[in-house]
Amino acid sequence: MSNSTIKDKQGLTEEQFLEQYDVSKYDRPSVTVDMLILTIMDEEKENYRKLPEKKLKLLLIKRGEHPYIGQWALPGGFVGVNESIDAAAIRELKSETNIDNIYMEQLYTWGDPGRDPRTRVISCSYMALVDSTALKIKAGDDAADAAWFEFKYKIVQEHRTELEKGHQLERLIKIELVNELATLTATVKVTETVKNRSTRYSREIVDSQGIAFDHAVMMEYAIERLRNKLEYTDLAFSLVPELFTLTELQKVYEVILGKELLAAAFRRKIANMVIETEQYTRDAGHRPSQLFRFNPNWRYEK
Amino acid sequence: MSNSTIKDKQGLTEEQFLEQYDVSKYDRPSVTVDMLILTIMDEEKENYRKLPEKKLKLLLIKRGEHPYIGQWALPGGFVGVNESIDAAAIRELKSETNIDNIYMEQLYTWGDPGRDPRTRVISCSYMALVDSTALKIKAGDDAADAAWFEFKYKIVQEHRTELEKGHQLERLIKIELVNELATLTATVKVTETVKNRSTRYSREIVDSQGIAFDHAVMMEYAIERLRNKLEYTDLAFSLVPELFTLTELQKVYEVILGKELLAAAFRRKIANMVIETEQYTRDAGHRPSQLFRFNPNWRYEK
DNA sequence: TCAATAGTGTCTATTAGACAGTATACC
DNA sequence: GGTATACTGTCTAATAGACACTATTGA
C-alpha cells in the first residue's frame, strides 16, 4: 500500500526516510484506557413473593497512590507501546473481572491538558457490560481495593439561555455512587448549544466528591450512550444470563432508562429479539415465568 | 478535588509526589487528529430547467512527504502537548477550510500498532460538516495539495457464516473518491459478529489504492456515523445554507443515505425542524420554491 | 384464599409509506 | 404549451401507548 520508490525533498525513499526518523524528536502525551464496567445486580428480596429489585452497578478501584490517593477511580492503565488500544482495554477488563467475551465498546477519548496532574495524559474510555451471574470472582476478593457501586443518575437542574441564533441548555446532572464502604457524588454540567444550524454538546465537572480525575464526566457520558443504544441495539442481553424471563429483561431496561415500561408494549417490542424455551422458573411464590434466550438473528427476521 | 494531605507508600504528599514524578520514564505513543471534512456541492445543471445534482465531497491532502508520499490523506496533525484534542481538531479544520463555527464531532480513536510506519501513532478522528456555499477559500487555492473528492460508498459483497451461538456477517464496502485529478479506491471489510448475546463490529482494510495510512477505515466509519445520526439529529442543516428549499434539504438526505425519499413523507418528518420564510427562489425554469430556515427549537416544540 | 407476578387481547393514537393529483414559473 | 419542479390530500399499513382482563403459583 505504501510507496517505496518515490523520493521526498531530501531525496530519500520511504525506506531511507523511516530509517533516519527520530522518534524522540516530538513531545508526546501518555495514553491510557479507562474502563466503565457496568453490570446489573439483584438486591435482596423484600419477601418470598416479591421479585428482587435490580440495580445498575459500576466497578471502581480505590487509589493507593498519588494523585487522588484514597479516592475512587475507573479501572484503567497505560496503553503499551506495542499494544492496540482495544487490547489494552481487554487486558484491563480481564484483570478486573476475569471474564473474556464481554461486550465492550470504545466510548470517547478525553484529552484536556490538566486532566491528570502528573503529566499530559490522554484517556480513551471504554464501556463494558457484564452479566453479574457470570462473574467468577467478585470484585473485592482478590483486589481489596475494587468494589461495585450502585450507580444513580439524576437531572437536578435545567437552565435555558436564548442566544441570537439559537439557544443554550445547561443541565446539571447528579451522579451518586453508593455501597457499604462509601458514597461518592459528582455534579456534571452538560451544555447543549444550538447555534448556526447545528447542535454541539460539552461536558464539565462542577463538583466531584471522592471520584478521581475527570472520571465523573466519563460516567455521565457512558450512561447517556448506554441509554441511547439500549433502544436500538441488543446491548441489554449482555447484562442478563443466557436464560432469562421477560420481566427480568424489562427490569434491566427500566433501571437503565430510569422509567417504568408497560409490559404489553415491551414484550411486543422485543418479541423478535428472543426465543422461547420449554423451561420455566420455579419456587417463585407466584405464577412461574417462561425462560427465554437471545435470538442472534433478530435483525434478519421479520 | 484532589487530596493534598494523604501520604503514599513512600511517605510523599501529592505535592511532593508530583514534584519528583519523571515524565520521561514511560514510553509514549504520538497522538494525532485526523479530520473528515465533508460537504455537499452542486454539480453543473444539465439544462436550465433541471435542478443541479448534489454530491457528497471529502477534503483530502496530497502527501508531499514520507510515508505514503504522493498518496492522499485526511488532513490532520499532531496534538500539541498543551493543547486539548478538540483544540487540535479545530486548529486543523480552520487551517484547511478557513471557517469557524462548523459542526464538528469526535468519531473514534484508532490505535493499532503499525498503522503508521514511522512510530506508534494513535489517531483521534473527527468529522466536520461544512456548508459549501460558505467556504471562503476553496481548497486548492492556497494549498495546491488539498482537493475535494466526490465520496462514493457501496456495499459490494455480503458473506454470512453460522457460528455455534450466533453468526458472523462480513460486508465488503467499496469506497471511491473521484475528482479531475485522481480516482482513489479502497475496500473495507466490516465484520459483525453476533455471539454470546452481544454484537461486535470490527473493520479492516482489504485494499487501498492511493489512500494513505488506514484512512479508508476512518472514512467508512464516518459515513456510517453520518448516516445514522442524520435520522435523529439536525446534522443535515450544517450542510445547507441559512436559507434553503425543502427539495434541496431532501437531496442532502438522499445523497447521504444513498436512496430516494418520498417528498410527502420527508416534508412531514422534518416539518418542525424548519421555519418558513416569505422568500422564494426565482429564475428556476419551473415553479418557484419557498425558502426555509432551521428551527433551533425543534426538539422542544410539538 | 390471596398476594404477586405472568401473560394476552384490544382499542386508540401516532407515525410511515405510497401515490395520485393540483399548482406554477419560465423558456 | 410543455417541462420540470413544488406542494398537498388521503388511503393504508405499521407501530406505540394504555389498560383491562385472565392465568398461575406457593405459603
Tell me the per-residue pLDDT of A49-99, one tens digit each, with 9 for 90 and over. Answer: 889 999 999 999 999 888 899 999 999 999 998 999 999 999 999 988 887
Q: What is the pLDDT of residue B168?
A: 97
Residues A149-188: pLDDT tens digits?
999 999 999 999 999 889 999 999 999 999 999 999 999 9
> CA at A232, C1' at D11: how many angstroms apart?
30
CA atoms of B223 and B36, how far apart (whole Å): 10
- Tell me the average pLDDT of chain A: 90
A26/B29 CB distance under 8 A: no
How much of chain A exceeds pLDDT 90, in percent?
73
B48 vs B53, more confident: B53
Please, which positions of strand C sit below 7 A from a protein CB? 3-10, 16-20, 23-27
- Nearest residue to B277 via CA among B250, B231, B232, B246: B246
Q: What is the pLDDT of residue B64?
A: 87
**Cβ < 7 Å from nucleic strand D:** A 48, 262-265, 268-269, 282-288; B 47, 49-51, 245-247, 263-264, 267, 280-281, 284-290
**Grid cell of A165 as nine digits:** 441564533
- Tell me the average pLDDT of chain B: 90
The CB-side HSE value for B62 (13 A sphere, CA atoms) comes to: 16
- Rounded mean pLDDT of A195-221? 96
Q: What is the pLDDT of residue A189?
A: 98
Which own/partner pairs from B155-162 qualify as long-range (CB within 8 Å, at least 24 positions apart)?
B156/B187
Domains delineated in chain A = 30-232 (3.90.79.10), 236-300 (1.10.10.10)
Which chain A positions have a beta carbon within 8 Å of B272's beta carbon?
none
CA atoms of B169 and B160, how far apart (whole Å): 5
A139 — pLDDT class (breaks 50, 70, 90): low
How much of chain A exceeds pLDDT 70, in percent?
89
Q: What is the pLDDT of residue A11?
A: 75
Q: What is the pLDDT of residue B2?
A: 45
CA atoms of B297 and B274, how far apart (whole Å): 9
First vs last Cα of chain A: how many Å apart?
Answer: 42
The CB-side HSE value for B124 (13 A sphere, CA atoms) comes to: 28
**Grid cell of B288 as nine digits:** 418557484
Q: Which amino acid is at B199?
A: T
Q: Which positions 80-109 on chain B have a beta carbon less than 7 angstroms from any atom of strand C? A: none
Q: What is the chain A residue with the closest CA to B186? A: A1
**Grid cell of B132 as nine digits:** 459549501
CA atoms of B181 and B211, how far apart (whole Å): 14
- Nearest residue to B220 via CA among B147, B131, B139, B156: B156
B18 vs A25, more confident: B18
B44 — pLDDT class (breaks 50, 70, 90): confident
Q: What is the pLDDT of residue A117?
A: 85
Q: What is the pLDDT of residue B153?
A: 96
Residue A49 approaches strand C within 7 Å at CB? yes
Which chain A positions have a beta carbon within 8 Å of B7's beta carbon?
69
Residues B138-174: pLDDT tens digits?
555 555 689 999 999 999 999 999 998 899 999 999 9
A8 vs B246, more confident: B246
CA atoms of A95 and A25, how far apart (whole Å): 34
- Rounded mean pLDDT of B190-217? 96
Q: Which positions 226-245 on chain A have a beta carbon less than 7 angstroms from any atom of strand C? A: 245
Cβ atoms of B97 and B8 closer than 8 Å: no
- Rounded mean pLDDT of A219-239? 96
How much of chain B exceeds pLDDT 70, in percent?
90
